[in-house]
A and B are shown apart, each in its own frame.
Chain A
Amino acid sequence: MLLELRLNKTVGNFRLDCECALSSDRTGIFGPSGSGKSTLMHLLAGLSSADSGTIRLDGETLFDRARRIDSKPEQRRIGVVFQHAHLFPHMSVRRNLLYGYRRTRAAERRIRPETLFEVLGIEPLLERDVTTLSGGERQRVALARTVLTCPRLILMDEPLNGLDEHLKFQIIPYLKRVFSEFKIPLIFISHSMLEMRMMTEEVLVMEQGSIRRRLATESLARSSWEADRQGYVNLLSLGRSRPHRDLFSYPWGDTALILTEPGEQEENLFELDAREIILFKRHPETTSARNLLECRVSQLYRSGNRVRVELGCGNSRLIAQIVPEAVRELEISQGSRLVAAIKASAFKRIF
C-alpha cells in the first residue's frame, strides 16, 4: 500500500495540516483527543472534504481540490471501523454483515463470509437481533461487516474504546489474524500506547492538527515517559508452552522463559512490567527467580530519577526500569554485560 496525502482543513478554530506518504501496512495515528485524528480519518474515507490538498492511494487520485476530484465514499473502497459499532438496528446480524458484501463487485470479493465468520467467532450470532449483542460482539460484527467489502485500506478509529480490558484483549488477536490473513492494510487510530504497540509497526504522532513525529511504534513506547503512569511494559509474544516440572517453558529467541501460566494457543501475548526485572552485575548462582538471562545493554534512556535500560538477550530485546543510583553502582553503560532475573510469576497474560 502507498498512501500519499497532503491535506488542509479548517473547522472553527481548529486547523488540520498534514503531509505524508505511508507505505507500512500497519500504521498508527497516535495523539491526544482533539489533535485531528478523527478529522483526518473522515477526510480519508471521503466523509468530508478538505479545503485544499490531495489524497492518492496506490497511485489513484481520490481527492484533489485543484483538479476538482473528490470521489465519493462508496467509490473509494476504504473501510472504516468506528469507535462505536454503529450496527444497523433494523437489520439482523446476518443482514448487517452482508450489507457491504452485497454491494461489492463480485470480482473484488476476495473473502468468503463463512471463513471470516469462523475467524471472528461470529457464527453463533448470525440469527440474533443486533440489540441483544454485547459490546465485544457488536464490535466484532462491525469489523466483519467492513472486512467483507475487501477494502483497499481499513481505517480504525479507536475501535476498542469503551470495551473493558478483558474484551479488548479478546478482540485484538482476532483483529491481527484477520488483517494478516486477508492482507488488508490498516490505519489504526488510538490514544492507548498498549493498543498501538499490539496493532501497528509505525506511528504518526499528531498534535494540534499536524503530524509532529513519525517513528517505529516500539521506539515511541520506549521513549515516552509521561503517557503511561505504569511505566514501560514489555510485550512478549510467545509460542505454545511445554510443561517444565510444575511450571511452563516457552521458547523465546534462542533461549527459553519459565512462566507460571500455561499457553495452549499458537500465539500467547504476555506483558512484563519493566520494573519487575532485577539486574545483576555477575551471575547470582542461585536465586528464587526462575529466569536468569545473560544480556548486553544496548541503550539507556533517562528521565528524572528513572532509567530505562534496553537489554539485548540473544536476538530478543527487553526493557528494564531502574533508578540512577543502581546504574552507578552496577556501572551500567552501553555494551556492559548483565544478568537479568525475572520471576516466573511476573509475566501477566494479555491473551
Chain B
Amino acid sequence: MLTLSPQDIQAVGLSLKVATTATLISTPLGIGVAYLLAFARIRGTALLEGLINLPLVLPPVVVGYLLLLAFGRHGWIGQFLDSLKLRVIFSLSGAVIASAVVGFPLLVRSIRLGMESIDPALFQVSRTLGAGWWDSLLTIILPLSGRAIFAGMTLMFARSLGEFGATVILAGNIPGVTQTIPLAIYEYTSTPGGDRMALTLCLVSIALSFTVLLVSEAAGRRLKRS
C-alpha cells in the first residue's frame, strides 16, 4: 500500500518549509517592486521589469547555475557570505533562495496587476486628507491590493513546492537537508524499483497542490466579501 518512509516525510516537511520561507521572505520585497512598477514614474522600470521576469522564461537550470556562480565560494555574494562564515550552497538556505528567485516574478506580476487596477486618485485623495505617504500605502494601497497579494503568495508557494531545476543545482539533492518532494521523486525514478515510492510522493504532491488551490480560492472569496 501507499506508505511514506521517514525520508519521504522529511522531504514533505522540507518542501513546506522551503516554500513557506521563500514566500514570506519575498512578499515585502514583491510588494515594493510591484509598487515601483505600478506607480513610480521613474526611468528604468522597463529594465527592472525585464530583470524580474527573466527567471519566468529562463530554464530553471540556468537560473540555478547563475545563482551557483554568484553564491559559490568564488562568486561575489559567496565571498562576502564566506567572510561572515555563512554558506548558502548545498544548504536549506540555498533551496529557499532558488525557490524565491524562481517564484518572484509570479508574485510581482500578480500584485502589480492588483495595484494597477486601483484608481490612482484614491492615493491623491488620501494625501489631501492628511495622510502621509506611508499612511496612504498602509491604509489605501495595501488593503485594496490584498486579494492580489494573497493570490501572488499562493502562486509563489505552489511554484516553490514544485521547484526542481534551480534547487538541484544550487542546493543539491541531499536527503534530510535539501531534498524536497520533486528531488525525492527524481531520486526514486532513477533507482531501480523506486517507481511505487515515486508514485506515492506524486500523490502527496498532487494532494498538497490541490489543497493550496482550495485554500486560496476560499480565502479569495472571503476577501472579496469583506
Contact = CB atoms under 8 A, between A and B. Distances in A.
A89 B119 CA distance: 10
A99 B121 contact: no
On chain B, which size bracket covers the interface?
Answer: 10 to 19
B208 to A, nearest CB: 32
B131 A103 contact: yes
B129 interface: yes
Chain B interface mostly: helix
B135 A88 contact: no
23 contacts: A45-B128, A46-B127, A46-B128, A47-B128, A72-B127, A73-B127, A73-B128, A74-B128, A74-B130, A80-B124, A80-B125, A82-B121, A82-B125, A86-B121, A86-B125, A88-B122, A88-B125, A88-B140, A99-B126, A100-B129, A100-B130, A103-B131, A146-B128
B148 to A, nearest CB: 13
Given A86-B121, A103-B135, A80 B140 contact: no
A77 B130 CA distance: 7
Contacts of B38: none
B199 to A, nearest CB: 46
Contacts of A103: 129-131, 135
Interface in B118-177: 119, 121-122, 124-133, 135, 139-140, 143-144
Q: Which interface residue of B122, B127, B133, B144 has the most chain A CB atoms within 10 A?
A: B127
Interface in A216-261: none
A109 to B, nearest CB: 11
Contact of A79 (B119, B126, B128, B132): B128
A153 B121 CA distance: 20
A149 B130 contact: yes
A73 B124 contact: yes
Contacts of A45: 124, 128
A328 interface: no
Chain A interface mostly: loop
Interface of B: 119, 121-122, 124-133, 135, 139-140, 143-144
A149 B130 CA distance: 8
A104 B126 CA distance: 12
A166 interface: no
Q: Which interface residue of A78, A80, A104, A146 has the most chain B CB atoms within 10 A?
A: A80
Contacts of A74: 127-132, 135
B146 to A, nearest CB: 8
Q: Which interface residue of A45, A74, A77, A99 has the most chain B CB atoms within 10 A?
A: A74
Interface in A90-127: 90, 99-100, 103-104
A82 B128 CA distance: 11
Contact of A89 (B126, B127, B144): B144
A26 interface: no
Given A47-B124, A86-B119, A88-B122, A146 B143 contact: no
Contacts of A56: none
